[in-house]
Amino acid sequence: MAEIDFEKIGLKVGLEIHQQLNTDKKLFCKCKPIENDEYTEKFSRSLRTAKSELGKIDPAALFEKAKSKKINYYANSQSSCLVEKDEEPPHDLDHDAKKISLLISSMLKSKIFSEIHVMRKTVIDGSNTSGFQRTMLVSQGGNLKVNEKNIGVQAVCLEEDAAKLLKDEQNERNYSLDRLGVPLVEIAPRTCQHQAL
């Protein structure tokens, strides 16, 4: 296979780094972030398209709606409560997760916002029972030196992990709720041209 000249073809690659945080509990409830294959509860939902904060319908959401699958959720009471089931409003943000994300932003010399807001990112594939992922922009900008190369940082976000896909069939999709709500830091490096590490 002929070698591709990345600079010549103008290849741009965007990366997102997702890292679960090792906290004692999930981001918005007291449940322990443990994975377990034994499920004691099952329930089914269907998601509908809803307008975003700006009154728009997300095209990806429309696409998912068109598929209109029944979504089955499997839960274990050790790792999921009413918050994961979208049957109760979220509790206070986990303090440790907030602290770790601020530490990561500081290490990356990323500018931390004076006020951090929890946002809803529409996800209608069923990977979140609410139909959106709770996420917050912690900081913007920054950089990290790796092998003498400066890797720019676009943003650091703190968010909840998605439910784990167990099975995807023609009319139904099964998820486990263990992973839903586990704190996750998302680091978005600045896109750059052919900057091999």
Partner 1 sequence: MSEDQGYSGNALDCLKKNNVKVGDTIKITADLTYSGILMPRYESSDDKHLVIKLGSGYNAGINIDEIQEIQVVSSSEVKPKQSEERKEDTTLPKILLLSTGGTIASKVDYRTGAVTPALSASDLNEAVPELGKIANIDAEVLFSEYSENLQPDHWTKIAEKLDSLANSDYKGILIAHGTDTMHYTSSFLSFALAGFPIPVALVGSQRSSDRASSDAAINLIAASKFLVESNTRGIFLVMHHNDNDQTVACHLGTRVRKNHTSKRGAFETMGDHPAFIIAEGRIKKNIQDDFFKDAKYNPRMKIDTKVALVKYHPGYDPKLIENLIQTGCKAIIFEGTGLGHVGRTMYDVIKNARENDLFLGMTSQCIDGTVRMTVYESGRDLLDLGITPLENMTPETSLVKAMWALGNSKHADEMKSLMLENIASEF
> Per rule CB under 8 A, is residue 143 in the interface with partner 1?
no
Residue 41, strand partner residues? 75
> Per rule CB under 8 A, is residue 102 in the interface with partner 1?
no
> Per rule CB under 8 A, is residue 48 in the interface with partner 1?
yes
How many residues make contact with partner 1 (CB under 8 A)?
A: 42
Closer CB to partner 1, residue 36 or residue 49?
Answer: 49
Closer CB to partner 1, residue 7 or residue 59?
Answer: 59
CA distance 8 to 6: 5
Contacting partner 1 (CB under 8 A), which of 38, 55, 147, 197? 55
> Per rule CB under 8 A, is residue 111 in the interface with partner 1?
yes
Closer CB to partner 1, residue 22 or residue 106?
Answer: 106
Contacting partner 1 (CB under 8 A), which of 87, 191, 193, 194? 87
CA distance 74 to 137: 30
Q: What is the dihedral of CA 40, 184, 97, 173, to 10 degrees?
A: -20
Instruction: Label the pairing between strands 172-176 and 164-168.
Output: antiparallel
> Per rule CB under 8 A, is residue 63 in the interface with partner 1?
no
**104: region left, alpha or beta (phi > 0 left; psi from -120 to 50 alpha):** alpha
Helix (H) / strand (E) element for 44: namely strand 41-45
Contacting partner 1 (CB under 8 A), which of 32, 36, 91, 137? 137
Count CB atoms within 10 A of the CB of residue 167: 10
Could you list the residues that contact partner 1 (CB under 8 A)?
A: 43-55, 61, 82, 85-89, 111, 113-117, 119-122, 124, 129-132, 135-137, 140-141, 155, 157
